[in-house]
Amino acid sequence: MKALIILFFLLNTTAWAETIRLKPGDSIKDAVERAAIGDIITLSAGEYLEHDIIIRKPLTLIGEGMPVINGRDQGDVFIVAGENIHFNGLRIINTGRSNIDDSAAIKFYDSKNCSVENIELENTFFGLHFSNSSNLTIKNNKLFSEAEREYQTGNGIHLWKCKDSLIEGNDVKGHRDGIYLEFVTNTISQNNIIHENKRYGLHFMFSHNNSYIKNTFRKNGAGVAVMYTRNVIMKDNIFEENEGASSYGILLKDISDSEVTGNIFRKNTIGIYMEGSSRTIFKNNSFTNNGWALKLMASCDNNTFEANNFSANTFDISTNGSVVLNTLKDNYWDKYEGYDLNKDKVGDIPYRPISLFSVIVEKIPSAVILWRSFLVTLLDRMEKIIPAITPENMIDNSPKMKPYDLS
Amino acid sequence: MFKLLKYSLYDILKSRFAILYTIFMVLVAVSIYQVSEDLSKVSLSLLNIMLMIVPLIAAVFATTHFFNNLEFTELMLAQPVKRRNVFLSQILAVIIMLSAAIVIGFGIPMLIWGADESILILLAIGIALSIVFAGLAFLASVMTRDKAKAIGISLSFWIYFSLIYDGFVLYLIYSLSDFPLEKTTLGLVFLNPVDLGRIIMLMKLDISTLMGYTGAFFQNFFGSAQGILLSSFILLIWMSWPVATAMRIFKRKDF
């Protein structure tokens, strides 16, 4: 009986939710105005020329065959403030370009339980812009911007003061920051591909308790930069081909109590640059073909680097001082030249990952021109035998003889 | 001229050194290919051989060859042939032999295990450095009458270009680190053929590091068509001036 009553109510609610069908030429604004709470608006394929469509009640907008909503370079396309508002299968192009009101394809204010799925954005200033919202689902969207300069475009997925959200499977290209989070908590970003953005692939500040899993950050202007945050989990991400004078796989500034595990850093100028960070664990990461695998500034403390693979990097680690308050253990270093007499797969003599020349290059960048010359090789050898300039404590006492199988 | 060259070449091939050098190159190349897992590591290991061993052998071999063939040279000079031809046949024979050793020595393993662009460039650099140091060695040889002295001078050319010069550059960069030195170091690099060869290779191998500010500066220069042309041109000058100077002295020399 109870079940029947529930079924009755369920049927009733679906019966209440009416579907409004629109075809090109119809006004989306009118449809939104007309719609009752919980209605579904379907847009059939074609082009709709509209902007500043304001939605304040629970609605679902579904596109059939990727209808195009063209903002004609004016303002925002959708402005949303409400609960249970869902977007699915639309293509939104040509928003205005304004830094004063941050023009975006879809802009959410003070919203809850909203979702944006399977949306394609092109030539938008900001892509998806959320502020003061919670329980958001941002899934399988494609955001492409074709700006040539950083100031000509906004962020792809921009969250400000949001919480409890999911950002999954998005493809962001050519924006200023791929994903930008500020004051965002308890949010998961996974399986996103963030590439060729003008500034950072991922940029967050004051965003605690978030996790970033299986994302790919490729060829972004300055890599990934994250600041002033604690309890971050970064797992199984790929950071690659971020090349340039100030380009990093990740730049960590004042990050604490975090975990960076199972990531791959490939072909970056600097794999990880760390400053003022503490109590963070780096485990099972693989650093290959980077200029510097790690730049560990002396202001970092109590970080642990454990069981990572370092191979084919020009320099493994460099630092700017003689104080080392971090621990290196059980890593594999391809430059290690020690031996293993007792066959426990751990090298018998410790490895010092900082070479004399990396110290010199840190002080005088021009000296990089002498890299791989006979003189430099000779100096490095001498320093390895009698360490004089390199920090005494930057040392791995248990270097592995074989690389870990991390794939 | 060609007849002279032919006899000089025969002469070199008859000496066991040419064969030993080629076998040595083959062995080095094979062992590097066997040990390294990918091609970029191969070119890295080959780089050290090309920058250190090749110039050394070129310098020593060219000097000894000049003095071993001194009697033949004197005999030829008594014949109605141009001095220029006598000199050129000698040095060309040496250069051909050194280059052939590199091409054969590294070519065979490359045919077997494959090569990429950077290894081919490396071979070209090896050949260029052989020519430069053979030229310097002939210059040292015509400047003196004594074989030991000539070898000493050739060796000091080698030590100077592969070690002392870089020490000087490092010292200069260190003591003037407050100034923007990019252009200066670029200029200094042109004054040393070994450095020039090394940096052309660096641009191929260590792109990630070099993308730092200073690196990017060098990358912009050596990566552009203009930079490549200029550096090849400078390398050509390095190949020709010792030979030209040595030839001028040889022409006027009283044997």
**Tens place of pLDDT per residue across chain A (407 aa):** 555 555 545 445 554 678 999 999 899 999 999 999 999 999 999 999 999 999 999 999 999 999 999 999 999 999 999 999 999 999 999 999 988 889 999 999 999 999 999 999 999 999 999 999 999 999 999 999 988 888 889 999 999 999 999 999 999 999 999 999 999 999 999 999 999 999 999 999 999 999 999 999 999 988 899 999 999 999 999 999 988 878 899 999 999 999 999 999 999 999 999 999 999 999 999 999 898 999 999 999 999 999 999 998 989 999 988 888 999 999 999 989 889 999 999 999 999 999 888 888 888 888 888 888 888 888 888 888 888 888 888 899 999 999 999 86
Q: With CB atoms and an 8 Å threshold, state whether B209 touches A368.
A: yes
What percent of chain B is predicted at pLDDT more than 70?
A: 98
Architecture of the structural domain at A15-221? 3 Solenoid (2.160)
Q: With CB atoms and an 8 Å threshold, state whether A366 touches B51.
A: no
Chain A hits for B214, CB-CB cut-off 8 Å, are: 365-366, 368-369
Q: With CB atoms and an 8 Å threshold, state whether A291 touches B214.
A: no
Q: Of A365, A372, A376, which has the smallest distance from its Cβ to B213's Cβ?
A: A365
Chain B hits for A377, CB-CB cut-off 8 Å, are: 48
**Cβ atoms of A150 and A127 closer than 8 Å:** no
Residue A3's pLDDT is what?
55
Q: Of A269, A312, A374, which has the smallest distance from its Cβ to B212's Cβ?
A: A269
Task: Show which residues on chain B lie within 8 Å of chain A, measured between beta carbons.
Answer: 40-41, 47-48, 51-52, 162-163, 166-167, 169-170, 173-174, 177, 181-182, 185, 189, 194-195, 198-199, 201-202, 205-216, 218
Amino acid present at B228: I
Q: With CB atoms and an 8 Å threshold, state whether A373 touches B177.
A: no
**Whole-angstrom Cα distance, residue A218 to residue A201?**
8
Residue A5's pLDDT is what?
53
Residue A119's pLDDT is what?
95
**Whole-angstrom Cα distance, residue A380 to residue A107?**
56
Q: With CB atoms and an 8 Å threshold, state whether B209 touches A267.
A: no
pLDDT band at B206 (very low <50, low <70, confident <90, very high): confident
More confident residue, A275 or B210: A275
Among residues A324, A271, A275, A310, the alpha carbon closest in space to that of A294 is found at: A271
**pTM for the predicted model, two decimal places:** 0.86
Residue A196's pLDDT is what?
93
- As given in the structure block, the two tokens for residue A261 are 């595990």
**Cβ atoms of B142 and B249 closer than 8 Å:** yes
B98 Cβ contact list (under 8 Å, min separation 6): B21, B54, B57, B58, B61, B62, B127, B130, B131, B134
Range of the domain at B22: 2-252
Q: Of A366, A368, A370, which has the smallest distance from its Cβ to B166's Cβ?
A: A370
Model confidence over B94-135: pLDDT tens digits? 999 999 999 998 888 888 887 788 888 888 999 999 999 999
State residue A107 phi and psi, 5-degree precision: -120, 125
Report how many domains make up chain B.
1
What is the complex's ipTM, to 2 decimals? 0.83
Residue B185's pLDDT is what?
85
A217 Cβ contact list (under 8 Å, min separation 6): A178, A194, A195, A201, A202, A223, A224, A237, A238, A239, A240, A242, A249
* Mean pLDDT of the region B229-240: 92
More confident residue, A139 or B40: A139
Whether the pLDDT of residue B3 is over 90: the answer is no
pLDDT band at B88 (very low <50, low <70, confident <90, very high): very high
Mutation target to probe the B interface, by most B beta carbons within 10 A, among A265, A295, A337, A368 is A368
